[in-house]
Structure 1
Amino acid sequence: MASPAPSLRDLARQLGLSHTTVSEALRDNPRVKIETRKRVQKIAAEAGYRHNPLAGALMSEMRRSRTGTFRGVIAVIDLDGPDKRPVNASRYHQELTKGASERAAELGFKAESFVIGKGGISAARLDHILQSRGIRGVFLLPVSDNPDLSRLDWTRYAGIYADYIIERPGLHSVCADHFRSMVIAMQRLQDMGYRRPGLVLQKHHDERLLHRWEAAFRSYQDYHDGVARISPLMATEINQEEFTEWFRQTRPDVVLCHRAEVIKWMEAAGADVPKTHGFCCLNVLMNVIPCAGLNLQARLIGARGVELIIAQLYRNEYGVPDHASITTIPGSWNDGPTLREMKAK
């Protein structure tokens, strides 16, 4: 059986140095002579020593805390900040953060938010703060565009992105299962008696998910009898004129969309929601008015993201993974006043 990796104190005894000197040398602290740093790092590498990020975070937090009580810190990184984020996305991000904070506290950690970019701190400054405080866990909130946090020294961190794809760097991610969530919605609508579902999406919203919303919608139409095949309205920016033309041409009896403002456009085109037509929201957190539709489980996604980060820390796994994985969570159905039973069960 292989010998266990040496501890920091084992290295200190082997080198004839103090525990503190070895610790600072491994962190490349300039207060230790460069010759000593190189010797310590060489011996540590040969002996198979691996840094324990939780132990480092423990000591850092204990030094900062007056009470000496340890709570490991998970950094929740907001790449946009509230000023750059659309208003209808704020509640989703708030729920992600709540889920992350609550689950972190249950597991003995504290989730602390950091905003970078406009109105926040730079990536370089964030990197310095995280390192100086011994924070190793990083939870990235989603952004509409392709995020780029490659400037952080990822050899020091275990990270999770709370959306479908991140490539700079290619981290593990956790997000809603959009394909399965659409199937859940379509099944529920068919059970309620709707036969002509119509999908309305902004192009970029589906493109960044590799068209999972549209793919699930079309495949459900193809493989389920009694459901009309209506082409979705895919627009760069959804506007009333384009929506009204599509609505009158395709004649859906229920519209699936993220934005509840289309209800007014439906009514302006002659619909009476929910008496004659229905509206299904693809993310009920994106609207302030009550809607029937999908709860994409933002709070649960936040909690699961923290669990995945902490698991990496306990396994002493940090850095950009060779093979990034995606953990998906299906949405749940929310009844609401924008739908009604169209037939007796």
Structure 2
Amino acid sequence: MSAASAEASAIATAELSGRRVHVKVPATSANLGPGFDTLGLALAQYDELDVEVGGDGLRIEVHGVGAGEVPLDESHLVVRAIAHTLAHYGRDLPPLKLVARNAIPHGRGLGSSGAAIVAGVMAARGLLAPEVEISPDELLELATELEGHPDNVAPALFGGLTIAWVTPEGPRHKKLMVHRGVSPLVLVPEHEMSTALARSLQPQSVPHEDAVFNVSRSALLVAALIQSPELLLAATEDKLHQRYRAEAMPETDRLIRVLRDAGHAAVVSGAGPSILVLASDPSERADAVRLVEESAETAWQALPLAVDFLGATVTRVDEA
């Protein structure tokens, strides 16, 4: 960077001093069975973030999930996402105070890393406004650059059911509203699962008939989620990824089989090890909880969650 560019960046960054924003980001479940790396659903469990520009250096507080575990320096994923977004618009990372209140479980297949990235991108969006207006496509591109794929960050950003795909011009998404009869249930175990490990178990190629099978089920799943919840069990069948990952999370695999044999549309949530049950009514959800309580060999937390239709939000609190 030239001296003139560095000076311009420093001036632009100084303009952010004193600004404060509040960010709220939903959990997500990706894949939803057959929609590998494409379909995602926003769920009403939230990480919240307060960011203030000013003071001396970088100060981070983490409450709730991740407290005492995540880094408290510039390697913190939220800070990295803020810095990445500011840099894209010609700003340096200013002195910040960041307070995170996390409720999304880490390493459980509920999009915690995507939520952290979206929180940072949205925080930067709020800090830069109104001088810089970041479009939805730009938000998705910035978040995807850090996450590597858009299936979790798209529903975290926009809410609802999202279909995400990548074009030569960047990632794109389509948001759909979920049928009011769909009642999600997330079953969360005590142990974590590495997304990198889960992805390493995927084969580089699959049989042609398996690919065709998943194309049909993915199309059916969109119809089931937005119009015909009674088709959810058939629509959540998968042959592309879950069976290959089963050896790394045997109890997840066993419980999914138990649930599906009883008629519940159960799938691995994201990379696992959590289980997502897409029930067609609240009573079915309660039945699934009872079945897991009777069948599980280890402790599982049941989270009956609504679909989040709003997605991530950011509010300038210094102007309130």
Per the normalisation by structure 1, the TM-score is: 0.27
Which of structures 1 and 2 has the bigger CA Rg? Answer: 1
Q: Structure with the greater relative contact order (CA < 8 A, sep ≥ 6): 1 or 2?
A: 2
